[in-house]
């Protein structure tokens, strides 16, 4: 369900309400009880409720933190060559 923002035209009180998409807009201000509440135009808000939609969903084994692994720089590999360097023939 989306979260809608409202503002009272009488007292200026701002209010958020969790409503169904097809629900009628609220009109009574909870602060001053006047029928002056107007829906504000804003970015869509929603609430994820219950299980699901976590980073670990749909991943298995070593792929649990794919986003985190991409941002961590890899460690340089230790060389097995002596201090004088490796010679190839």
Domains of the chain by residue range: 1-50
What pLDDT does 13 receive?
Answer: 96
What pLDDT does 32 receive?
Answer: 95
What pLDDT does 23 receive?
Answer: 92
Q: Which residue has the tokens 């829906």?
A: 39
Average pLDDT score over residue span 44-51: 64
Flag whether pLDDT at 72 surpasses 90: no
> 3-state class of 45 per DSSP?
strand
- Whole-model pTM over 0.75: no
Provide CATH code, domain 1-50. Answer: 2.20.28
Q: Which residue has the tokens 């097995």?
A: 80
Between CA 44 and CA 57 the distance in angstroms is: 24
Phi, psi (rounded to 5 degrees) for 69 = -65, -35
């Amino acid at each position: 369900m989306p979260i809608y923002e409202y503002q009272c035209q009488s007292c200026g009180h701002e209010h958020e309400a969790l409503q169904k998409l097809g629900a009628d807009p609220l009109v009574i201000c909870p602060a001053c009880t006047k029928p002056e509440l107007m829906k504000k135009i804003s970015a869509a808000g929603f609430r994820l409720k219950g299980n699901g939609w976590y980073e670990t969903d749909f991943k298995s084994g070593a792929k649990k933190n794919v986003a985190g692994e991409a941002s961590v720089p890899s460690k340089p590999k230790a060389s097995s060559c002596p201090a004088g360097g490796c010679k190839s023939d």
